[in-house]
Amino acid sequence: MSKPFVLAHLSDPHLGPLPRLGIRELASKRLFGYINWRRSRRRLHQRDALDAITRDLHGRQPDHVAVTGDLVNIALPAEFAHARHWLETLGRPADVSVVPGNHDAYVAAAALHRDRHWSPYMSGDAQEGMSCAGAFPYLRRRGPVALIGVSTAIATPPFMATGRAGERQIACVANMLDDLRKENVFRVVMIHHPPLPSARHKCLIDAAAFQRVLAAVGAELVIHGHDHVHSLVWITGNGSRVPVIGVPSASAAATAKQRAGAYNLYCVDGGPGAWNCEMVSRGLRPSGAVAELNRFALSW
Ligand SMILES: [Fe+2]
């Protein structure tokens, strides 16, 4: 019997500490984010928690790791370089796939630094003749799995954490999912904002359009971050059932049970038309140890 393909998913590490800020950098939305970090976020997101999670993840020897955004906090240039070093501890660009979150697009200038430092982790396979112009969505094939990386990261006004996939990207995702369905591969969509209804200040603006595509062409799995909690919602339609699964912040301190740092493992087995996928959630206990939280089989 062949070994299952194991995909690990973690999200929202919000790497700290924040570097020193200049006056010019504070004269923007970053000021609000900086105050927020000093007041609460720096206590919520702990490097010790993240290191415990990634140590445990490495121990499981996944075949691939997906990171669904919010690696940084207020998008200072030095944060992107720091996050690149962290990514290198996680794995080689070929083994780790990243999509950006709203904090990685905190101000408009962030895209430049993000692309400069992270692009090897956010690009499709060279042999994939991209039918769509632009970096996103990208497509990577690993074993029986096809990974589609979507960007919903846009700069927004203060107190807003919304995202947008955009018409072009949604059309590309629809084409990719449809083509891949004919190839009978296990299709995974990686996205920061959940393509689901949400509060106005933090929603995916075009969630309804994205959801319609998922319902029409299907996907075996959608993984996301953003909400910092465990979640599972099924999108149904046109004979397909698509599990949309969120994970808490990987760096959340083990103070509140529901929000403590965690990650998910997906063990993909079987074959076209008869996939098996066992999901295992592992997370921080109040003791600081990482243990299994939940385990169940997805069935479509
Ligand atoms: Fe986040």
- The residue among 72, 102, 123, 68 whose CA lies nearest residue 245 is 68
Cα of 270 to ligand 1 centre, how many Å? 33
Cα of 70 to ligand 1 centre, how many Å? 5
Pairing of strands 240-246, 5-10: unpaired
Q: What is the pLDDT along the chain (300 residues), one digit of tens a residue?
A: 579 999 999 999 999 999 888 887 777 788 888 888 888 888 899 999 999 999 999 999 999 999 999 999 999 999 999 999 999 999 999 999 999 999 999 998 899 999 999 999 999 998 665 555 568 999 999 999 999 999 999 999 999 999 999 999 999 999 999 999 999 899 999 999 999 999 999 999 999 999 999 999 999 999 999 999 999 999 998 778 999 999 999 999 987 555 899 999 999 999 887 899 999 999 999 888 999 999 999 988
Query: pTM of the predicted model, to two decimals?
Result: 0.95
Report the chain's terminal Cα–Cα distance, integer Å.
23
Cα of 174 to ligand 1 centre, how many Å? 26
Pairing of strands 240-246, 221-224: parallel
Cα of 71 to ligand 1 centre, how many Å? 8
Cα of 142 to ligand 1 centre, how many Å? 27
Cα of 131 to ligand 1 centre, how many Å? 31
Token pair, residue 291, equals: 């243990």
Query: How far is the C-alpha of 233 from the C-alpha of 249, rounded, in Å?
Result: 18
Q: Please, which residues have CB less than 5 A from ligand 1, an ion?
A: 12, 70
pLDDT at 129: 55
Query: How far is the C-alpha of 55 from the C-alpha of 129, rounded, in Å?
Result: 36
Cα of 243 to ligand 1 centre, how many Å? 21
User: What's the burial of 217, exposed, middle or buried (CB within 10 Å: 0-12/13-18/19+)?
Assistant: buried
Query: How far is the C-alpha of 51 from the C-alpha of 30, rounded, in Å?
Result: 26
**Segment 166-207, tens digit of pLDDT:** 999 999 999 999 999 999 899 999 999 999 999 999 999 999
Q: In this structure, how many other beta carbons lie within 10 angstroms of the beta carbon of residue 44?
A: 19
Query: How far is the C-alpha of 215 from the C-alpha of 238, rounded, in Å?
Result: 6
Cα of 101 to ligand 1 centre, how many Å? 7
Q: Which residues contact 29 (CB under 8 A, 6 or more apart)?
A: 74, 106, 107, 155, 157, 158
CA distances in angstroms from 209 to 101, 233, 287, listed in the order given: 19, 17, 43
Cα of 56 to ligand 1 centre, how many Å? 21
